[in-house]
Amino acid sequence: MNITEQTKQYALRCHRETHHLYDAQPYEIHLQMVVAAAERFIHLIPEAARQEVIAGCWVHDCIEDCRQTYNDVKKATSEAVAELAYALTNEKGRSRQERANDKYYADMKATPYAVFIKYCDRIANVTYAKQKGSRMFGVYQAEVDDFITKIHQSPYDEMAAYLRSLFEK
């Protein structure tokens, strides 16, 4: 089994075992949407890193939401994939702003490809919220400029433009 499939099975098991849902549905729906966004923009990632990045998409929420540690993810996948999951784990906080603080974004930007995965995560969330008419669509819309300012790196200009386009009528 390759690293992508191995990581996918691990992530799905983690989310199932913690009964973690996405809008009252299996969390797999969100993970599949993140991977779909990654596949759409995978041309922005060097070929040698693509499997690792897709694997990172599968586990991006495992530490934050599934009671997994960095070492759990590393043991189940690889050090590189664990680094991505760790970089994408929110800080402790009482609000969205406290959890996604300056340290969170700085650590993410310091980890190769973590910003790419965060863009994929936000694209998946916005797409889903728009499709469902969720109140979160308005939250994401209000945050988009600040989010892009905090996260952006020039290799991902195309992703930033696409994310902004999701808010057009």
pLDDT for 169 equals 74
d(CA 104, CA 151): 10
Predicted structure pTM score: 0.96
- Length of the chain, in residues: 169
- Asked if 2 and 10 touch (Cβ cutoff 8 Å), the reply is no
Mapped onto helix, strand or coil, the DSSP state of residue 113 is: coil
Residue 51, amino acid: Q
d(CA 49, CA 97): 31
What tokens appear for 19 in the block?
């009964």
d(CA 83, CA 143): 26
d(CA 88, CA 117): 8
What tokens appear for 3 in the block?
């690293």
pLDDT in tens, the chain (169 residues): 799 999 999 999 999 999 988 999 999 999 999 999 999 999 999 999 999 999 999 999 999 999 999 999 999 999 999 999 999 999 899 998 899 899 999 999 999 999 999 999 999 999 999 999 999 999 999 999 999 999 999 999 999 999 999 999 7
- Asked if 12 and 28 touch (Cβ cutoff 8 Å), the reply is yes
Q: Which domains does the chain have, with CATH numbers?
A: 3-165 (1.10.3210.10)
pLDDT for 6 equals 95
Helices (runs of H) and strands (runs of E) counted in the chain:
11, 2
pLDDT for 156 equals 98
Task: Write b or e for each residue in 130-141: b if 16 or more Cβ atoms lie within 10 A of its Cβ, otherwise e.
Answer: eeeeeeebeebe
